[in-house]
Structure 1
Amino acid sequence: MLRELIKNKRRLFFIGLALLGLILVRAFEDQLFYDPFLSFFKTDYQNKPLPNLDQFLLFLNLLLRYTLNTFFSLIIIRLLFNEKQLMVFSGYLFLFLFLVLVAIFFGLLHFSNQPDYLILFYIRRFLIQPLFLVLFIPAFYYQQLTR
């Protein structure tokens, strides 16, 4: 698989573009997305109250960012493994994981008087970073090796 990928310069170019897309989403996160937790978690947040936030706007921006990251991640998965079924399966996984994580995230915000900031931090991290791509690529690669 890796030899085939290296031979195909066009696929490598588009993988590079998708990686650039992920980098740009991260680089311009302050300008593109409403997220009061960006600055909150950069400070000594353990003894501070949660920032004031518009939950609906936060949800829409988390959805937008997750969708952009998912789009670029699915392109990378499709180009790396060259299997449409794997990309579709990954899309369903991304959707399921988003629904679970966003429900937990907003559940903690809404129903907890003093939510555990560390749990909020890590759930939010999975929502705003392409961490699932980092988990899926080795898993799919190992799956292909064992077939």
Structure 2
Amino acid sequence: MQNRIFKNKKQFILVTFVLLLFVLIRAYEKCVFYDPFLSFFEGEFAHAKLPNVNKVKLFLSLGFRYYLNSILSILLLWIVFKDASVSKVSVFVYSIVGMLLMISFFFVLEFFAYEHKMILFYIRRFIIHPILLLVLLPAFFYQKKVKVL
């Protein structure tokens, strides 16, 4: 019993540490990442002109942020489930979704940005926040529960 409690404490501490890293990424986003859309989408942007962006720098910055969030998300899933198949599926899903999101973001930015600011906003939101984790975590819990039954 004591080993199980210690194991759960260790798991709780690791999960808390990873969540703290997510918070730090969010807290220092303006200092660490190049994203002129941070301030643009904070204000009234419905009729505003899009900011000038360095697309290469923006691509690298968004990609790096997505990569950091993906690594932390996969680490969190590993800590919670301790299952290699969960990690493999997660890496695959994050890779495919990341490519689709980045391609979609820059396609919309290049060709439809002024008309479809909200689409740009939501695609960017999926790139910079670990929203996919909120889908995968309950999905893997459900899968684990169904396997047990």
TM class by smaller structure: over 0.9
Is residue 2:65 matched to residue 1:62?
Answer: no
Percent of aligned pairs sharing the same letter: 37
Equivalent in the alignment of 2:92: 92
2:113 and 2:120 in contact (8 A); partners too = no
CA distance 1:134–1:5, shift in 2 (3 Å): farther
- C-alpha separation between the residues in 1 aligned to 2:96 and 2:90? 10
- C-alpha separation between the residues in 1 aligned to 2:115 and 2:5? 45
- C-alpha separation between the residues in 2 aligned to 1:6 and 1:52? 52
1:101 and 1:127 in contact (8 A); partners too = yes
Aligned residues: 144
Q: Which runs of 5+ in 1 are unaligned?
A: none
TM-score by length of 2: 0.92
Q: Which 4+ stretches in 1 moved above 4 angstroms?
A: 4-7
- C-alpha separation between the residues in 2 aligned to 1:33 and 1:86? 29
TM-score by length of 1: 0.93
Q: Per the alignment, in what secondary structure is the counterpart of residue 8 of structure 1?
A: helix
Q: CA RMSD in A?
A: 1.5
Which stretch of the first structure deviates more once superposed, 7-16 or 34-43?
A: 7-16
- C-alpha separation between the residues in 2 aligned to 1:41 and 1:122? 11
Is residue 2:15 matched to residue 1:15?
Answer: yes
Q: Per the alignment, in what secondary structure is the counterpart of residue 94 of structure 2?
A: helix
Equivalent in the alignment of 2:118: 118
Matching residue's letter, 1:18: V
Q: Matches of residues 127-146 of structure 1 in structure 2 within 5 Å?
A: 127-146=127-146
Equivalent in the alignment of 2:82: 82
User: 1:16-65, CA deviations, whole angstroms, 9 ceiling, x for partnerless residues?
Assistant: 11111111000100001000000000010010111000000000000111
1:105 and 1:123 in contact (8 A); partners too = yes
Q: Matches of residues 99-114 of structure 1 in structure 2 within 5 Å?
A: 99-112=99-112, 114=114
Is residue 2:44 matched to residue 1:44?
Answer: yes
CA distance 1:5–1:111, shift in 2 (3 Å): farther
